[in-house]
Amino acid sequence: MSQPKRAFQARAIPNTTWRRLRSTPSYFFLVWRWSWWLYALTIIVGNPPPNTAVTRTCDILLIVTLIQTLVVTLYAPVFQILLPRTRIFHLLSRRRQPLTEDGEADILAPLARTHSPYWDIAIYSLDVFICGLIVYLSGPFGVDPPFGVSSPFYRYGMSTAFAAAFAYRYRGGLAAAFGYDLFILLGMYFPAPNATPHTVTLIDFLGSLMDVPIAAILAAYMASLIRNYTQSKRREQDNVRRQTALLSVGETIVREASNREALLQKSAERLRQGGHFQRLVLALVNHTPDEKQEKISQPAIEACIEVDVDVPNPQLLARNQAILDEVVRTAQKYNTFEAFNRKNYGVARLYLPFFKEGELRMVIGAESSRQTPFDPKQEYFLTIAGAQLLVALDNIRLTEQTVEMAATLERRRIAREIHDGIAQLIYMLSLNAETCSTLAHRIVADPSEDTTAVASLADRLDKLVAVSKQALWETRNYMFSLKPLMSGTTTLTQMLTNQTREFETISDLPVGLVVTGNEELLNTNQRNTNQYAQIGTAIFRIVQEALSNAYKHANATQIQVSLRYQPTSIEVEICDNGRGMAHHGHDPSTGGELERMYSGHGLRGMHERAAELGGKLEITQLPAGGVKVWVQLPV
């Protein structure tokens, strides 16, 4: 058995409180009828009248009412829940079905209900007729008056008004009460057989006719209170269920923000459960230009998710694909109710289109076997959830486009770097290699070649070695630049340590790292913020730029990196022993040559990184030569 079906069957039997509440009218009716039948039995057996004909009639009526009470009890809806296999008239009798297949049942009626309202009227009318006739025939059992309240079955017969009132509220209860009183009036003015002559008084008239309508009104009032209470609780439960479903959809959007298929599948299931739908359809729509008219975009279904639940009969019909196609084509809401041949149930369908920037992007459809069409609350529920889902899908689409754009830009950057760096060096390598090859062949062909050619060959080989080393540096530098930054539990100290070691490996330059202070002394809340991660990224990139420029432009032979943890800031200092800024004729006020030295991100990029985080960056000439890059970032 599937999990949705088990879930439905678990909900089909309500909890104890709800079951008692919705069964109260039925139990009240049955207890009343059995109690007053026992009362009639006691009166007739314990105090028989002198008239044996009346006693014989009452004995027959006892048997008739016993059979009637047994039939009513066995085929009452409340007992059909407990004893479903005892239903002989299976084609006629039925339980009061819920509004939706997987919803709670309504208040249980006292008498059996059928698929046809005409049969229901016939059943309740027959009960009124039997009870009224029994009271009419048993009226002579009482001497004064020989009708109405004197009958031992008078209060037994009142239960027929209770049954109609509990089932049809005021109209049904009053109609049954008046029908019952007609038999009492018949006994007043057309006495039953063996009745003694009696003059009807006002007290007899009111006493016999007023009890049943008042009892019917009270029963209808109690049934209305129970119905209003249960409807209020049901509305509250529906609201809670819908809000829970919306919350679940929101959580699904957060969890599955990067997985479109999982997002659609789980969201569709949450929406089906939240709206108590038997079937929910979720379709994504894309737009393709028309071949004849390129400016006109034609909608087409890109993906379609359908989730269903197994429920007892009546089964939901198979989904009609033409309905979904029509909604996609017309971009209009579709809301219909198709009745079955059996008149208590039909198929309700609701398909809602969702738009983004004037174009149809998504369709959500709901279908259920119900007694009524979908109400505005369910449409409102789908509208809210669909809007959330549409925003999430649009965010996924924008994220995918952003990732693709970023990847494209990165590919272009790498291609440009390779073209301007390694490609040029390899081209120089190829030219020098060809020249060296030509000189080598000349020397081999003419051993008497003077030493000038050999010296030229050696010079070009030296250049070849230098260019090859530069190409190797460029290649390693690309790998170094593409490495990830801080990740997982990596600290800033560990990150800079790894960075300097890798730089030593690719450049063969000794790099020292001195750490002052303790990163652990920073407040935990400071170290676990997004700003601290941004500080780590900025420091990594600034140090990376300074190390690269010290190697490429300053001809440094040693580099020193200092990391200082202050109570309110982090300072990093990178010093080299290279040529410094004076070698290039640099004027610190103009920044011209320095900007050329710090290529790539450059001086401007380093200043921008520090300024974005509220920090300071200074680049100065050291007295002994070389350059010092100092940056301070607040934490």
Q: Read off the pLDDT band of 269 (50, 70, 90).
A: confident
pLDDT of residue 372: 81
Q: What is the DSSP string of 114-168?
A: -SSHHHHHHHHHHHHHHHHHHHHHHGGGSSSSSSGGGSTTHHHHHHHHHHHHHHH
Work out the percent of the chain whose per-residue pLDDT is above 90.
20
pLDDT digits (tens, 9 = 90+) for 230-260: 777 777 777 777 777 777 777 777 776 677 7
Fold match, 258-389 / 486-635:
no
**H/E segment holding residue 291:** none
pLDDT value at residue 412: 77
Look at residue 546 in the predicted model and tell me its pLDDT.
Answer: 87
- What confidence category does residue 182 fall into, taking pLDDT thresholds of 50, 70 and 90? very high
- CA distance readout (Å), 522 to 128, 375, 532, 548, 564: 87, 58, 11, 30, 12
Q: Region 277-294: what's the mean pLDDT? A: 76
> What is the torsional sign of CA 471, 474, 478, 480?
positive
Which range has the worst mean pLDDT, 177-191, 550-564, 573-587, 588-602?
A: 588-602
Confidence grade of residue 74 (pLDDT, cut at 50, 70, 90): confident
Least confident of 89-98, 166-175, 424-433, 533-542: 89-98
Instruction: Please name the amino acid found at residue 32.
Output: W
Q: How far is CA 153 from the centre of its chain?
A: 59
Mean pLDDT of the chain: 78
Overall residue count recorded for the chain in this entry? 635
Within 10 angstroms of residue 19's Cβ, the number of other Cβ atoms is 16
pLDDT at 156 over 90: yes
The domain over range 258-389 is classified in CATH as 3.30.450.40 = yes
Give 97's pLDDT tier (boundaries 50, 70, 90).
very low
pLDDT at 14: 46
pLDDT at position 613 over 60: yes
Is 252 within 8 Å of 261 (Cβ atoms)?
A: no
Q: Which residue has the higher pLDDT, 520 or 86?
A: 520
Q: What pLDDT score was predicted for residue 18?
A: 65
Domain boundaries, the chain: 3-230, 258-389, 486-635
Kindly tell me if the per-residue pLDDT of 280 is higher than 80: yes
CATH numeric code, 486-635: 3.30.565.10
pLDDT at 181: 92
Q: How many CB atoms lie within 10 A of CB 189?
A: 8
pLDDT band of 214, cuts 50, 70, 90: very high
In this structure, of 302-306, 444-448, 562-566, 583-587, the range with the lowest mean pLDDT score is: 583-587
User: At residue 390, does pLDDT exceed 50?
Assistant: yes
pLDDT at 592 over 60: no
pLDDT higher than threshold 80 for residue 543: yes
Least confident window among 174-188, 292-306, 375-389, 444-458: 444-458
pLDDT at residue 190 above 50? yes
**Would you tell me the crossing angle of helices 451-481 and 492-507 to the nearest 10 degrees?**
160
442-486 pLDDT per residue, tens? 777 776 666 676 777 777 777 777 777 777 767 766 666 665 555
**Where does the pLDDT of residue 528 fall: very low under 50, low under 70, confident under 90, or very high at 90 and above?**
low
Can you give the pLDDT at residue 410? 76
pLDDT at residue 488 greater than cutoff 60 = no
pLDDT band of residue 9 (cuts 50, 70, 90) is very low
pLDDT > 60? residue 545: yes
Of the ranges 322-331, 393-402, 450-459, 533-542, which one carries the lowest mean pLDDT score? Answer: 450-459
pLDDT of amino acid 417: 66
φ, ψ dihedrals at 523, nearest 5°: -60, 140
Q: Identify the residue with better confidence: 222 or 467.
A: 222
- Average confidence (pLDDT) over 343-350: 78
Predicted pLDDT of residue 276: 80
d(CA 410, CA 36): 91
H/E/C letters for each residue in 50-84?
CCHHHHHHHHHHHHHHHHHHHHHHHCCHHHHHHCH
Q: What is the pLDDT of residue 598?
A: 41
Lateral strand order in the sheet of 334-339: 297-308, 279-289, 359-370, 346-356, 334-339
| The predicted structure's pLDDT at residue 62 | 93
pLDDT at 165 over 80: yes
User: What tokens were used for 159?
Assistant: 């239960």
Window from 137-146, 300-309, 410-419, 420-429 with minimum mean pLDDT: 420-429
pLDDT reported for residue 315:
59
**Confidence band for 160, pLDDT divided at 50, 70 and 90:** very high
Contacts of 222 (CB under 8 A, 6+ apart): 25
Residue 419: per-residue pLDDT: 65
Alpha carbons 238 and 232: distance in angstroms, whole number? 10
CA distances from 406 to 4, 80, 413 (A): 44, 67, 10
Q: Looking at residue 396, what is its pLDDT?
A: 79
Rg for the chain (alpha carbons), in Å? 46
Q: What is the mean pLDDT of residues 536-559?
A: 84
Q: What is the mean pLDDT of residues 337-358?
A: 80
